Amino acid sequence: MHEPRRFPPHPELSARAHAQPDIYAKAAADPEAFWAEWAQQLYWEKPFTQVVDWQEPFARWFADGQLNASVNALDRHIAAGKGQRIAYYFEGERGDRRSVTYAELLQEVCRLANGMRKLGITAGDRVAIYLPMIIELPVAVLACARIGAIHSVIFGGFSADAIADRINDSGCVALITADGGYRRGNVLALKAICDEALRNTPSIKHCIVAQRTHEPVHMQAGRDIAWSALIADQPDTCTPAVMDAESLLFLLYTSGTTAKPKGIIHSTAGYLTGVSATHKLIFDYHEDDIYWCTADVGWITGHSYVIYGPLCNGATSVFYEGSPDFPERDRWWEIIARYKVSILYTAPTAIRTFMKWGDEHPARHDLASLRILGSVGEPINPEAWMWYREKIGNGRCAIVDTWWQTETGAIMISPLPGITHTPPGSATLPFPGLDIDVVDEHGTSVSEGVGYLVIRKPWPSMLRGIWGDPERYQATYWARFPHCYLAGDGARRDAEGHFWLLGRIDDVMNVSGHRIATTEVESALIEDQRVAEAAVTGKTDAVTGQAICAFVSLRGGANGSSELAAELRAHVAHSLGKFMAPKYIMFTPELPKTRSGKIMRRLLRDIVEGRTLGDTTTLADANVITELAQRAQQERASEAG
């Protein structure tokens, strides 16, 4: 993973950037003072006097202060005379559009919050939210925050069983959903899925149903109520609940594992401090920017960088309901050109998909408004980074590749666009005020080389635990290395101190005694200009322990061949070494991904090992994994024969 290229920040960007070169030294000299300064930029009903109380592994930040998250997202901007500023440009998949000001958003939040109070929902109650990407989603989130209820957003692609599991684990008293949603021109029957889930959720007393598709749905008397009916006679002002700084703001369940989902809990003040600081500094947000984070609110990226971070900073954001390729593959670029988006934050899998589709789609649109390009979700390989820079940013945009997790709440490692000389593929340096390290098997710091990513000191937006399971919190994150939070990711630190993320520890393969990160092999494969995407996993091998198996998708939908497979093996062998060349290569038009864009490597491991497939409910297209499993079975039968 030798990457010699470095790209300095543009001088004009550096001149007006919020983050200047002294920020790292200032934060390192007194991290508590650094975070306290950012916390003081929030609106406090009762100012804090304490910064952090660290009783490992539990932290309390700004604990004697009081505030309300919805007030920080909305009211304070209106009080500052910015009520007519656009909060969201809503873009529906079918082309319907709506501009929502901060004043209008507050009115909608207050009416729903009043309606929820009328139903008897109070501070501390848990409320599940299962909505498509429509404006009612941030309204529901902020209405919960307004009255002190704890929101638990469930991604709109989850099954009825997954919804029921999450509701029952936290004892939600209400569910907010919609009649349906749109995805690639199809209607998703969300209410029907909820009806199935609610057969086994005894804690639910109310189900609030928003209208999106206007398809007829079942409404159970005494439980279900239309959103429109609930708010019809409600005033558009609502006294906010005054919450302690450490009051729980939301629950968010991790997904993608076969074990019981973990209900990650986040408190109010520390979380808002982390997301507002990182949003402003990492994206260098200014009032003349139009910002677009493409994440679904069902994931932590949507919580932090679609709702709370941008709104706390008074940002104007694009809020898009649909998919990148409906009705055409240039939909995103058309949206950017129309709204003159200046900051784009998206996933490497989306970037690689656009590479596969071809350069002609972004080339049809004027993308000159862009100045900051962000990457989130998984490590980005250098070739995708360069394509992003050249084809979307026209060689002039700063790229901020970010690393963080549901558990961290906010971005932890990232360039600062006015300061950092960025190498393609590296998340570069920890955010100011954070103590992040790479350690070996014994917990010893690795100054240069590969190891486990750990965090040594508490940070404001850190998780406060796992809902109802403090022992699991301790065992999962704090037991492996003394006094360190184990992120579960591998990383390499280079001679300059830059961090290169290598993916989940579980994605490290052991081939003939060599520990090989899947990311390294994937990056080498994508160096070939014919390859759009690659996903690598290990397959049990009687001789080498594990053999490298690669799933490869080609640009332009081209078909693979045995000759191309041999060429790709030779390229990886030349680039990384013969022992890192894939033994097996399977060409596929698509890789199995969640609707948030993450490649489901866990399912690929199931395929190559011939195991029964795990949960596939989060997949964007379950047919992809079914076809791959059938092909793998045929190949195993052929080998056996």
224 three-class SS: strand
Model pLDDT for residues 198-221, shown as the tens digit of each residue = 999 999 999 999 999 999 999 999
Amino acid present at 113: A
**Average pLDDT value for the chain:** 92
CB-based contacts of 494-497 (< 8 A; 24+ apart in sequence): 494/426, 494/448, 495/448, 497/429
Q: Is the pLDDT of residue 602 over 90?
A: no
Model pLDDT for residues 472-516, shown as the tens digit of each residue = 999 999 999 999 999 999 999 999 999 999 887 776 777 766 667
* Structural contact between residues 516 and 507, judged by C-beta atoms closer than 8 angstroms: no
* Structural contact between residues 76 and 69, judged by C-beta atoms closer than 8 angstroms: no
Q: Phi and psi dihedrals of 394, rounded to 5?
A: 55, 30
Q: Is the pLDDT of residue 601 over 70?
A: yes
53 Cβ contact partners less than 8 Å away, ≥ 6 residues apart: 59, 60, 61, 63
Read off the pLDDT band of 197 (50, 70, 90). Answer: very high
Q: Locate 604 and state its tokens.
A: 């690929």
What would the mean pLDDT of 80-107 be, rounded to a whole number? 97
Q: How many residues does the chain have?
A: 641
Q: Is the pLDDT of residue 166 over 80?
A: yes
* Structural contact between residues 153 and 252, judged by C-beta atoms closer than 8 angstroms: yes
Q: Is the pLDDT of residue 371 over 80?
A: yes
Looking at residue 640, its pLDDT comes to 62
Domain residue limits, the chain = 512-640
Q: Is the pLDDT of residue 42 over 70?
A: yes
174-178 vs 372-375, strand pairing mode: unpaired
Read off the pLDDT band of 374 (50, 70, 90). Answer: very high
The third-level CATH classification (topology) of the domain covering 512-640 is GMP Synthetase; Chain A, domain 3 (3.30.300)
Amino acid present at 50: Q
A 10 A CB-CB count for 570 gives 12
If we measure between CA atoms, which residue out of 145, 72, 35, 18 comes closest to residue 461?
35
Looking at residue 258, its pLDDT comes to 39
How far CA 447 is from CA of 54, 234, 324, in Å, comes to 27, 59, 41
The DSSP string of 112-177 is HHHHHHHTT--TT-EEEEE--SSTHHHHHHHHHHHHTPEEEE--TT--HHHHHHHHHHHT-SEEEE
* Structural contact between residues 619 and 263, judged by C-beta atoms closer than 8 angstroms: no
How far CA 594 is from CA of 165, 296, 298, 505, 591, in Å, comes to 19, 11, 12, 20, 10
Q: Is the pLDDT of residue 1 over 60?
A: no
Q: Is the pLDDT of residue 256 over 60?
A: no
The percent of residues above 90 in pLDDT, for the chain, comes to 77
Q: How far is CA 462 from the centre of its chain?
A: 15
Residue where the block lists tokens 């609940």: 241
Q: Is the pLDDT of residue 294 over 60?
A: yes
